[in-house]
Structure 1
Amino acid sequence: MPYTADANRYTEMEYRRCGNSGLKLSTISLGLWHNFGGIDTYENGRAMVRRAFDLGITHFDLANNYGPPPGSAEETFGRILKDDLAPYRDEIIVSTKAGFYMWPGPYGEWGSRKNMIASLDQSLKRMGLDYVDIYYHHRPDPNTPLEETMGALDHIVRQGKALYVGISNYNAEQTEAASKILKRLGTPCLIHQPRYSMLVRSPEERLLDVLQEEGIGSIAFSPLAKGMLTNRYLNGIPADSRAAGPSQFLKPEELTEELLGKTRRLQELADRRGQKLSQMALVWVLRGGRVTSALIGASKVSQIEDAVGALGNSELSQEELAEIEAILKG
């Protein structure tokens, strides 16, 4: 039976303006980093994307190397677009990235103009698209002039192959420099994608301030700290989890007793709020409006439903924020 999107998909989701742009993003976005590759079950990925869209998630985040194998997540998403979402293309934000290793030889990674343009052409072909909404440089390149990489992004927008551009994994100083180049070229940086969660606070040191000063939006990846901010690992690594799979998404040695002690205390606070720990962690990342969207990963539909459900209890009191700080510092 052909897919028809839920008529009420926009009634519960919150949408935030991305920096100084006219673009709004759903506060929860779905990333296809894991569980959408060639080794995964297509129908499960398809069900997750459809359910996400039915819940008002409009932003789907990919990269050239997502899989495994690399490139296969884009192929999966392209198939879902063709099978189900083609009629809704103008309601969807599709993003992809280039910068990590993708093919052999000197042009298959980093940030040269050659790599950035060739990679996007490959991504568009895999997804069956004429353009992506957001194209990111995935990581800083220490050996390519920043002007070259940002110039390639500007060129790609002018070609019509991307509507907006962004950067990921750049520190505050690199972000400031990239933003100034892009403004000068006439293609402002729309968005920055940093790793940010209760357990990874480095964006607070200066990056979030730079984004605000430069009018750049932000989307936090790994807001659940690779699943450590859920109840998933409180009693060890389940056999069916991503941490136990071939991707080595989460290494067992990361789950220290000190960390587990903190997550158990955070779980107690979440229980008092009537939420799951994962839901409270998403609310925390989105607190105060400085982050535009929280980028979740999922292995099953219920995890997406839980993430969107967090928005029904999205205020943290000053007392709760103070308690979270005390737990994290303890």
Structure 2
Amino acid sequence: ENCNASLRRLQTDYIDIYYAHRFDPTTPLEETMLAFADLVRQGKVHYIGVSEWTAEQITRGAALARELNVPLIASQPQYSMLWRVIERDVIPTCQREGLGQVVWSPLAQGILTGKYLPGKSLPMDSRANSPAGKPFFKNLVQRWMSNNILEAIQNLKPVAQEANLTLAQLSIAWVLQNPNVSAAIIGASSPEQVRENALASEVKLETEVMNQIDEILGDLVEYDQSKTG
């Protein structure tokens, strides 16, 4: 029913990739994958994907997709310089199962633009200043609001400048540097931001730059794969 509603809203006959957005522990996985298979066979969906699934869940889903002969091709996890929880388990699993990464929040909810300054007031139009009615994004931002993280991000600015990039472009280019990342989902509040961020797709970062980023961020990076989902 949700797929049919989406098709009506989008005024299209099919969806290119339809995602299972978060794993549903209350529904048998076989039932979920059968529903996807029905949509593929009806021509309403061309490919299927998953979002924020663990490596074990992806393995189970991929096995069922093969059994049902439907194309499971994409994983949509959170991924950025600061949030690398997919690197140790999810990415190797997806490599084995043939899924690419279409990552969200490559700018860590705007933190990696450098607009949040340590010890300063929050920008009025920022996600960290979101109204109480939008707690999800506000909570995501809050995890990065400690001064040591904000100071480290400011230290990334000279690295970006040396590469003739904005900090946002550096952050997106870093994500796209991973060969397992097929695409990055970016948000923007203006056409200018879209154009600026899209330029990062043409950037190839040198090894020295990648090493500088790792050195500056150090143990501030989150790797705990139990936080997937």
User: Normalised by the shorter chain, which TM-score bucket?
Assistant: 0.7 to 0.9
Q: TM-score, normalised by structure 2?
A: 0.87
Give the share of equivalent positions with the same residue, in percent.
39
Aligned to 2:104: 221
Q: Deviations over 1:40-93 (max 9, x none)?
A: xxxxxxxxxxxxxxxxxxxxxxxxxxxxxxxxxxxxxxxxxxxxxxxxxxxxxx
Q: 1:241-263 deviations in whole A, cap 9, x for unaligned?
A: 23323334235743110110110
User: Is it true that 1:201 corresponds to 2:84 in the alignment?
Assistant: yes
CA offset at residue 297 of structure 1?
0.9
Give the match for residue 88 of structure 1: none
The 5 A counterparts of 1:1-330 are 118-234=1-117, 235-246=120-131, 247-248=134-135, 249-251=137-139, 253-254=142-143, 255-312=145-202, 314-330=203-219
4+ runs deviating over 6 angstroms: none
| Gap regions ≥5 residues in structure 1 | 1-117
Mapped partners of 1:310, 1:273: distance in 2: 11
Q: CA RMSD in A?
A: 1.5
**Whole-Å Cα distance in 2 between the matches of residues 257 and 195 of structure 1?**
22
SS of residue matched to 1:205: coil
Matched-pair contact (CA < 8 Å) for 2:176–2:201: no
On the 8 A contact 2:128/2:142 being kept in 1, the answer is no
| SS state at 2:86 partner | helix
Determine the C-alpha separation between the residues in 2 that align with 1:136 and 1:237: 34
Structure of higher RCO (CA pairs closer than 8 Å, 6+ residues apart)? 2
Deviates more, 1:286-295 or 1:252-261: 252-261
Shift of 1:237: 2.0
Letter in 2 for 1:153: F
1:285 to 1:253, Cα distance in 2 relative to 1, 3 A = closer
Name the amino acid aligned to 2:129: A
Deviation at 1:121, TM superposition (A): 1.3
Call closer, same or farther: CA 1:161–1:253 in 2, change over 3 Å.
Answer: closer
Q: Which amino acid aligns with 2:179?
A: G
**Contact 2:130-2:138 at 8 Å conserved across structures:** no
Distance (whole Å) between structure 2 residues aligned to residue 299 and residue 253 of structure 1: 20
**Secondary structure in 2 matching 1:204:** coil
- CA distance in 2: counterparts of 1:206 and 1:177, whole angstroms: 14
Question: TM-score if structure 1 supplies the norm length?
Answer: 0.61
